[in-house]
Amino acid sequence: MKILRIEAIPYSIPYNHALKFASGQVTDAEHVLVRIHTDEGIVGEADAPPRPYTYGETQASIITIIESIFAPQIIGLDPFDRGKIHEIMARTIHNQVAKGALDIALWDLMGKALGTPVHKLLGGYTDSMRVSHMLGFRPAQELLDEALRFGEQYGITTFKLKVGRRPLTLDIEACHVLRAGLGDEVELYLDANRGWSANEAMEVLRRTEGLGLTALEEPCDAKEAMSRRRLVENSPIPIVGDESVPTAGDVSRELLSGGSNAICIKTARSGFTEATEILGLCTGLGVDVTMGNQIDTQVGSLATVTFGAAHEATTRRAGELSNFLDMADDLLADPIRISGGRISVRNVPGVGAGIDEAKLARYRQN
């Protein structure tokens, strides 16, 4: 079997409302659907979600790097020769989302060729994951109303609160209102998206002590190495690396330097192959991991569930899997369902993200 051609298809689907956080906001999912075609008619698919304010990649740059740099070198290769393909991609630095999408599409293709669900090829630990829902920048009472609605409608009992605002009292109030309104059994953790300084993060932790918060993600820029290390050493809860750790090498640096003591894995930027390397590194060192969300579509969320459900360590915490609920529509032909606070894998060959071609035609941008 040989790779015949590679497509990078731009599309745009609006969100129901602007999603706001410390590093920016998005109003539309301007993503790229990646397809790898083979001479046997098998096609592997994956979603690439650009995040220019975080990783520097745009919809246009992902299309260019795939079509102009990667595809000419990959076409003609056997899709099972992933080592060769990754060697080709590694020659070009950065562009993690483009590389991640190609990797997931390869795994999807291999699963289809073997007639096996990819979650089983990756490990097959379980068949579903608990869901964590992200709460964005809104007044405290609106955040509580949303959390209560999602708990009632979907059975979700874990929430990630986007923080990083100034004055700090905005987020401190939100923490207190959510805990008072949701009770002690609901898990709450924070993500500042580098919005604070380390000292500001310590002040927030001091003023939210006793609320049972379970983690704080990217409180400040990891490049502020000394203050970040001081924060990690003094924090009563894990400090999670996210934007600072897109690759296995970055994970090694942050853990060894003391810049983080827990790691967020996002398949959208690592694919399944490097995510496996990151997970092995973390489990070997006894470091907790979370499965993060890059404001993914249902196609991307299904990829996260596929990887997360495959391993024991990635199922210990709820995965961030529900941001697609903020979208006006999606490309997935068989929509994801959240039942009892969980999302199940697809027990079909590949990842199971079948595309609705009519919707793709409607939302594609070329």
Name which of 249, 260, 248 is nearest 223 in CA terms.
260
Task: Please provide the average confidence, as pLDDT, over all residues in the chain.
Answer: 96
Q: What angle do CA 103, 105, 110 make, to 5 degrees?
A: 95
Could you tell me if 267 and 104 are in contact, meaning their C-beta atoms sit under 8 angstroms apart?
A: yes
**Confidence band for 55, pLDDT divided at 50, 70 and 90:** confident
Point out the least confidently predicted range of 47-51, 52-56, 64-68, 289-293: 52-56
For residue 26, the model assigns a pLDDT of: 84
CATH class for the region spanning 120-344: alpha beta
Does residue 202 or residue 24 have the better pLDDT? 202
Does residue 136 or residue 314 have the better pLDDT? 314
Return the SS3 of 214. coil
CA torsion sign for 9, 4, 303, 217 is negative
Percent of the chain with pLDDT over 90: 94
For residue 180, the model assigns a pLDDT of: 98
Residues recognised as catalytic? 162, 191, 217, 242, 266, 294
Return the SS3 of 305. helix
CATH class for the region spanning 3-115: alpha beta
**Confidence band for 17, pLDDT divided at 50, 70 and 90:** confident
Rounded CA gap, 54 and 351, in Å? 26
Strand partners, 343: 129
pLDDT digits (tens, 9 = 90+) for 102-122: 999 999 999 999 999 999 999
Average pLDDT estimate for 275-280: 98
**Confidence band for 312, pLDDT divided at 50, 70 and 90:** very high
Distance of CA 77 to the CA centre of its chain: 29
**Confidence band for 238, pLDDT divided at 50, 70 and 90:** very high
**Confidence band for 19, pLDDT divided at 50, 70 and 90:** confident
Tokens of 165: 């605002």
Return the SS3 of 217. strand
Q: From its phi and psi, is residue 288 left (phi > 0), alpha (psi between -120 and 50) or beta?
A: beta
For residue 85, the model assigns a pLDDT of: 98
Do the domains 120-344 and 3-115 match in fold? no
Q: 196: how many CB neighbours lie within 10 A of its CB? A: 25
pTM: 0.97
For residue 365, the model assigns a pLDDT of: 96
20 pLDDT above the threshold of 80:
no
User: For residue 235, what is the DSSP state?
Assistant: -
Euclidean distance between the first and final Cα of the chain, in Å? 29
For residue 204, the model assigns a pLDDT of: 98
Return the SS3 of 78. coil
Point out the least confidently predicted range of 51-60, 200-209, 338-347: 51-60
For residue 132, the model assigns a pLDDT of: 98
Q: Can you give the residue ranges of every domain in the chain? A: 3-115, 120-344
Task: List Cβ neighbours of 187 (8 Å cut-off, separation of 6 or more).
Answer: 132, 157, 158, 159, 214, 318
220 pLDDT above the threshold of 90:
yes
343 pLDDT above the threshold of 80:
yes
22 pLDDT above the threshold of 80:
no
Task: List Cβ neighbours of 244 (8 Å cut-off, separation of 6 or more).
Answer: 218, 221, 222, 250, 254, 259, 260
For residue 366, the model assigns a pLDDT of: 82
Tokens of 332: 């997935």
